Structure 1
Amino acid sequence: MNHWLTAPILIPLLGGILQALMGYAPITLRRTLALATTVLILVSAIVLLVLANDGSYRIYAFGNWQPPFGIVLVLDRLAALMLVMTSVLALFCHLYAIGGADEGNRQFHALFLFQLMGLNIAFLTGDLFNLFVAFEVLLIASYGLLMHGGGTIRTVPGLHYVVLNLIGSAIFLISVGMIYSVTGTLNMADLAVKVPQVTGESLNIVKAGGMMLLVVFGLKAAILPLCFWLPRAYSKATAPVAALFAVMTKVGIYAILRVYPLVFGDEAGELANLGMDWLFPIALATLAMGVIGALGSGSLKTLVAWQVIISVGTLLAPISLGSEAGLSAALFYMLSTTWTVGGLFLVSELIANQRGSANDRIITAPRMHNRTFLSVLFLIGAVAAAGLPPLSGFIGKLLILQSVEPGFEMAWLWSVLLVGSFLTIIAYSRAGSIVFWRTVDGHLEKPDPLNGRISVAAGALTALAIVLVVFAGPITRYTDATAEQLHNNNAYIEILQMPMVGEDD
């Protein structure tokens, strides 16, 4: 067993406990330790990415209890990619937060680290019940983060977020109970072996459990019609929290990627490709709904929140078609859109702080301070989000378009994605022209100068859209290998059925 697999979980766990115990310590000390913890999480994620790049699976069984009975962590290329994507985003969000956004809540950093722990458990677990536990850990932390900053504007969206996710958790628990009642296991590799053997009346129980599970993952991913809670919740959260939440919908998408090709894949007999016929049209409808919401947005944060929904539809459409090329393209686009949306949330907050009472609303106002710097950041983020060349969003969408085989699906995907991208360009152009160029006479009260930390965090996260273009070749080779590995379910099943001995590899 390789103990490195526990690092992305133990580091935020210990860091979060330390932060909880030192709530009354000087804020400078708490910030330093919190940022150091996030850096260590990133380092451990990079180490795991290097390990996973050889294409093999690595397993860690807690207490040396052999699967399917014990708690098992599994590292492969997909898990490593998700860990790195999340830790990079978290680092810049945390750097932005210590610029002042963390004030007013002594447990902000503890909640931030516990949420990272929950995310990392979700990406590494090899068991459905522990995936449920991971969801609960990250959701409990997210409830506190969503309310961070106080104010009644966060109360109602926060209540909707909490209630819907509690309902989702209840359905999750019921669905895994139904599956366990038939198969006697929740280990994903073991399920991949036992689900094809289910027959008779038990088949309907597993099918119902699988469909309910897909609804839960759809709620986490914010697909139509389970997406309307997201724009208000994300747009009212503080900037670093909203930016970190850009990865939350990707957890639902990751769960679909991890569970359904493995447990309900081509070899699952009568349950093969369960729910995938529904997923493609729902994905396109989600994309279209996101575009409509973006066009009608009244503030920059709301616009970016609808961009999250656009990205969900864009990701799930090629994934639902089941090809390796489509999956690889979706993974590249996932990296691009997660970091781009995170950067746009941070930039939107910077803009709001420079516009006085106008805040981030898309209305005319006196000329803002630091307009040139902020307009460049917004332009880069908008171009990447809309999918215009030469930034990473364009490459991601181009790969998605190229991955679809000629036919009915190709006609629909190309039409919806291209028209949606065009309308998204209009939405960002409208917002940018009003906020930056359609100024009115008057003077804004001079705001505080841009903090160095928050400027660096917003600028660096936005600039990743350019970095992804520079390293597009190595990244696409990695996503190609990841897609190939995900389609080879036999290797995943075999490695978890082998007896594990030894302490390290």
Structure 2
Amino acid sequence: MGAALLGFWEQHAPVLSVLLPSFTGMALLLLGDHDGMSAQGGGHEGGRAAWRRRLSLASALLGLALAVALVGRASGGELTVYELGEWPAPFGIVLVLDRLSALMVLLTYLVAVPVLWYACGGWDTRGRHFHAIFHLQLMGLSGAFLTGDLFNLFVFFEVLLIASYVLMLHGLGRERLRMGVHYVVLNLTASALFLIGLSMFYSVTGTLNMADAALHVARLDGASLRLAQSAALILLVVFGLKAALVPLYFWLPGTYAAASAPVAALFAIMTKVGVYSIVRVHWVIFGVDAGAASLTVQPWLLPVALLTSVLGVLGALAAHTLGRLVAYLTVSSVGTIVAGVALFTPETLSAAMYYLLHSTVVIAGLFLFVELAAAQRGAMHDRLQPAPAVREPVLLGVMMLFGAASAAGLPPLPGFLGKVMLLQSTAGLPAQPWVWSVLIGVGFLTLLGLARAGVVMFWHVQPAVAPQASGTSARLLAAPWAFMAVTVAMAVWAAPIKDYTDALAQQLTDKARYASAVLARQGGVGVPTTRPYDGRRPAAPSSPAVPPTDAQESRP
């Protein structure tokens, strides 16, 4: 029995991380949610409500265990290719498990499990089908990280975005509805641009499989090359909107601040989907060895990343609510991560991946802290104005101090380690002075903004004119404490995590091995699998491209 289960896992490991949340979501929809709602929009614990929570939490914990197993499997350097329907790449749909995809799936569940636990404290009953939609979003996230095909990246984008539209409006409210409309319209526009970019790219390569596309792009020239580069820039706009890069970040602060606390915390991983897509497309396909198409976006990406980091922290300084402050810090952290990606060296990418892990966990924890603190400030809620003293100043003060130190990058926390890694990795690069100036300046301004917020919330207090709110329940406190524990663990085990991200970056630069694994049933690297639009069949890498003969030109 054990051998059979092990064999099943070995054969179907990648797809299980997609199927588990999918089946869980469908089961939760069938279970219904009628007894979890009350006429006032709140909820009560009924039989089905309790079972929904148990099933949802059990599935999330199982998903976390599977994600840990995926990282263990990928850490050895093996690339696992799962052919859906046993159709070989590039004609069939494949899922590809490597170090990067495994790490992103694990990060998804490290965020999802504490957030789901927090939501079970009452937020899940303030709208319909919260748990089902939550797991459908996990399905979209896992699929986006594991797919080896650009079109199916678009498909999983749509799955996770549709789920996020519903979660964004969970709990209703005028401001939430207003920002939700903006969020939906902008993402639908980005989806249309995504399809346009994919169409342009397919017209010159004849394929959307990432491994196969990387081989074809290196052989393009003339008009085909220019069209592929135009497609790359369009895709950068799409992924830049998802990641909230300048000038496409304006939707995020209001949207995240308006969302409910668990939804905003889960959305901390959403911007990282855009970052991940930039890495996949512009490292694997348009990377340093993509022929004339190499580093198409580099002249744009680094300045945009540094400007995003600066404008994000300036927005945090100007924020009038704690929720918007944390949302702007999300923008700033994305800029810091993409700056490492935009330098296009394995060392900077490795440091950026470490910082990505840290920033996602810290931002998710801060969004939960915002609601815990706001609930004890009376009518002022999370506005950065004097209000009655919170009931638990020591507990909440420690949480905010820890979050501020992590976000600002103070030693010995992983935010400090990540920034040091980024600074060290730029040694000898022309952009080093710019990167150092921005990262150090942004860290100082982040600390200044969070210190200002802490002074207003804990020192500028007014006499209470109404009974104080009750203290925070242990159930709700468990989630932010879990995020803090993960942050401490990242500092304690920084060396093995850095070793993993180093190996991750090196693996992404080895396109030949990636293509050999994905296209193994088509003969591996160098064997043409599809015919480009311009009629030129790509030759093997060791041979120059040969112009087609008249007979070849006449073939359909």
Shift of 1:312: 0.7
- Aligned partner of residue 59 in structure 1, secondary structure: strand
Name the residue aligned to 1:238: 260
Name the residue aligned to 2:554: none
CA–CA separation in structure 1 for the residues paired with 2:406 and 2:134: 27
Name the residue aligned to 2:319: 297
Name the residue aligned to 1:403: 425
CA–CA separation in structure 1 for the residues paired with 2:12 and 2:522: 13
- Aligned partner of residue 197 in structure 1, secondary structure: coil
CA–CA separation in structure 2 for the residues paired with 1:478 and 1:280: 24
CA–CA separation in structure 2 for the residues paired with 1:323 and 1:204: 25
Name the amino acid aligned to 1:90.
A
CA–CA separation in structure 1 for the residues paired with 2:428 and 2:204: 40
- Aligned partner of residue 122 in structure 2, secondary structure: helix
Name the residue aligned to 1:284: 306
- Aligned partner of residue 102 in structure 1, secondary structure: helix
Name the residue aligned to 2:277: 255
C-alpha change, 1:178 and 1:478, in structure 2 (3 Å) is same
User: 1:350-387: per-residue Cα shift (whole Å, max 9, x none)?
Assistant: 00111111111111111111111111011111110011
The answer on 1:21 being equivalent to 2:30 is yes
Name the residue aligned to 2:334: 312
The answer on 1:136 being equivalent to 2:162 is no
The answer on 1:117 being equivalent to 2:142 is no
CA–CA separation in structure 1 for the residues paired with 2:327 and 2:410: 19
- Aligned partner of residue 96 in structure 2, secondary structure: strand
Moved more, 60-69 or 399-408: 399-408
User: 1:430-460: per-residue Cα shift (whole Å, max 9, x none)?
Assistant: 0001101111223542324322221101111
**The one of 170, 190, 206 aligned to 2:192:** 170
The answer on 1:222 being equivalent to 2:213 is no
CA–CA separation in structure 2 for the residues paired with 1:274 and 1:44: 36
User: 1:105-159: per-residue Cα shift (whole Å, max 9, x none)?
Assistant: 2311111100010000010000000000010000000000000011101112111
The answer on 1:46 being equivalent to 2:46 is no
Aligned length: 501
Query: Where does 1:327-476 land on structure 2 (aligned, <5 Å)?
Result: 327-476=349-498
8 Å contact kept, 1:340–1:385 = yes
Bigger RCO of structures 1 and 2 (CA < 8 A, at least 6 apart): 1
Unpaired runs of at least 5, structure 2: 1-9, 36-47, 524-556
CA–CA separation in structure 1 for the residues paired with 2:498 and 2:466: 46
CA–CA separation in structure 2 for the residues paired with 1:7 and 1:338: 24
CA–CA separation in structure 2 for the residues paired with 1:342 and 1:11: 23
Moved more, 406-415 or 143-152: 406-415
CA–CA separation in structure 1 for the residues paired with 2:381 and 2:49: 27
Name the amino acid aligned to 1:483.
A
Name the amino acid aligned to 2:360.
T
Q: Which has the higher helix share?
A: 1
**The one of 12, 30, 37 aligned to 1:3:** 12
Moved more, 71-80 or 104-113: 104-113
Name the amino acid aligned to 2:471.
P
Name the residue aligned to 1:322: 344
CA–CA separation in structure 2 for the residues paired with 1:377 and 1:355: 16
CA–CA separation in structure 2 for the residues paired with 1:284 and 1:192: 28
CA–CA separation in structure 2 for the residues paired with 1:405 and 1:493: 31
CA–CA separation in structure 1 for the residues paired with 2:446 and 2:120: 32
CA–CA separation in structure 2 for the residues paired with 1:487 and 1:132: 23
The answer on 1:99 being equivalent to 2:108 is no
C-alpha change, 1:500 and 1:7, in structure 2 (3 Å) is farther
8 Å contact kept, 1:380–1:463 = no
- Aligned partner of residue 388 in structure 2, secondary structure: coil
CA–CA separation in structure 1 for the residues paired with 2:290 and 2:500: 28
- Aligned partner of residue 60 in structure 1, secondary structure: strand
CA–CA separation in structure 2 for the residues paired with 1:444 and 1:311: 38
CA–CA separation in structure 2 for the residues paired with 1:429 and 1:440: 19
8 Å contact kept, 1:23–1:106 = no
8 Å contact kept, 1:344–1:462 = no
Moved more, 371-380 or 200-209: 200-209
8 Å contact kept, 1:59–1:75 = yes
Name the amino acid aligned to 1:271.
A
- Aligned partner of residue 99 in structure 1, secondary structure: coil
Shift of 1:268: 1.6
Name the residue aligned to 2:292: 270
8 Å contact kept, 2:67–2:105 = yes
User: 1:290-322: per-residue Cα shift (whole Å, max 9, x none)?
Assistant: 011000011111111001001111001111111
Name the residue aligned to 2:183: 161
- Aligned partner of residue 148 in structure 2, secondary structure: coil
Shift of 1:500: 9.0
C-alpha change, 1:28 and 1:430, in structure 2 (3 Å) is same
- Aligned partner of residue 521 in structure 2, secondary structure: coil
Name the residue aligned to 2:112: 90
CA–CA separation in structure 1 for the residues paired with 2:513 and 2:177: 47
- Aligned partner of residue 388 in structure 1, secondary structure: coil
- Aligned partner of residue 91 in structure 2, secondary structure: coil
CA–CA separation in structure 1 for the residues paired with 2:180 and 2:429: 43
**The one of 487, 492, 496 aligned to 2:509:** 487
CA–CA separation in structure 2 for the residues paired with 1:448 and 1:19: 33
CA–CA separation in structure 1 for the residues paired with 2:123 and 2:474: 13
Name the residue aligned to 2:547: none
CA–CA separation in structure 2 for the residues paired with 1:36 and 1:260: 37
8 Å contact kept, 1:340–1:464 = no
CA–CA separation in structure 2 for the residues paired with 1:151 and 1:401: 43
8 Å contact kept, 1:368–1:444 = no
8 Å contact kept, 2:89–2:522 = no
CA–CA separation in structure 2 for the residues paired with 1:228 and 1:447: 34
CA–CA separation in structure 1 for the residues paired with 2:258 and 2:464: 28
Name the amino acid aligned to 2:19.
L
- Aligned partner of residue 462 in structure 2, secondary structure: coil
C-alpha change, 1:114 and 1:161, in structure 2 (3 Å) is same
CA–CA separation in structure 1 for the residues paired with 2:284 and 2:24: 34
Name the residue aligned to 1:64: 86
Moved more, 408-417 or 116-125: 408-417
Q: Give the aligned CA root-mean-square deviation in angstroms.
A: 1.3
Shift of 1:104: 2.1
**The one of 229, 232, 241 aligned to 1:207:** 229
